[in-house]
Amino acid sequence: MARVSMRVDGVTYTDEVEPRTLLVHHLREALGKVGTVVGCDTSNCGSCTVHLDGQAVKSCTVLAVQADGAEVTTIEGIAAPGGALHPVQKAFHEMHGLQCGFCTPGMIMASIDLLKDNPRPSEHEIREGIEGNLCRCTGYQNIVRAVQQAAGEMSGTTDTLGAQA
């Protein structure tokens, strides 16, 4: 067993884990962060995507011990403290960027990571940016629209502030 300490969605947890424990299993089973889901066994689907020290990773392909000392953000940690949805969450809701919803946590976490690097991506760049996430309902059209709307809203806010200044 190894002692592992990590800050998850703003709360620090210290636990004894087996080295073979995957980060996603630690999040779900030890910490109760079941918003992050496991959709495949091959590192392809991306539904387990979380942010590790601010970068999107597939938490099924990271050992919990590797995240020792790290800051982890899951889908459960992105809304505002009062419960207001993150702009990307809101856009997925408004643009109906989901059908069954299983891929949605990973899609949202990957999209936030993409928009951080590229605040105004083209449709092509969005499709490339979320290529690590599979939607088996094949609802990609609305997912792309949701990311576009979120990009507009998130950078639009900046534009408005810039115009006022």
Partner 1 sequence: MIPAAFEYVRPTTVDEAVQAVAEGGEDVKVMAGGQSLIPVMRLRLAAPSTVVDLGRVAEMRGVRDEGDVLVIGAMTTHAEVIADPLVAQHARLIAEATETVADRQTRRRGTFGGALAHADPAGDLPAVALALDAEMVVAGPGGRRTVPARDFFVDYLTTTLDEGEVLVEIRVPKLAGQWGVRYEKFNRVAQAWSIVAVAAAVRRENGSIAEARIGLTNMGPTPLRASATEAALAGAGASPDAIAAAARSAAEGTSPSSDLNAQADYREHLAQVLTRRAVTAAAGL
Q: Binding residues for partner 1, per CB under 8 A?
A: 2, 18-22, 25, 41-44, 46, 49, 52, 55-58, 60-63, 65-66, 110, 113-114, 127-133
Cβ 58 to partner 1, closest distance in Å?
5
Cβ 123 to partner 1, closest distance in Å?
14
**Please, which residue, 63 or 108, has the CB nearer to partner 1?**
63
**Please, which residue, 8 or 56, has the CB nearer to partner 1?**
56
The gap between the terminal CA atoms of the chain, to the nearest Å, is 55
Quote the CA–CA distance of 143 and 29 in Å, as a whole number.
29
**Please, which residue, 95 or 130, has the CB nearer to partner 1?**
130
Angle between helices 104-117 and 140-164 (to 10 degrees): 40
* Cβ proximity of 108 and 78 under 8 Å: yes
Of 110, 103, 94, nearest in space to 145 by CA = 94
Sign of the four-CA dihedral 111, 114, 116, 122: negative
Of 152, 78, 141, nearest in space to 108 by CA = 78
**Please, which residue, 98 or 134, has the CB nearer to partner 1?**
134
Cβ 10 to partner 1, closest distance in Å?
21
Pairing of strands 11-17, 2-8: antiparallel
Cβ 118 to partner 1, closest distance in Å?
11
**Please, which residue, 31 or 56, has the CB nearer to partner 1?**
56
Cβ 15 to partner 1, closest distance in Å?
15
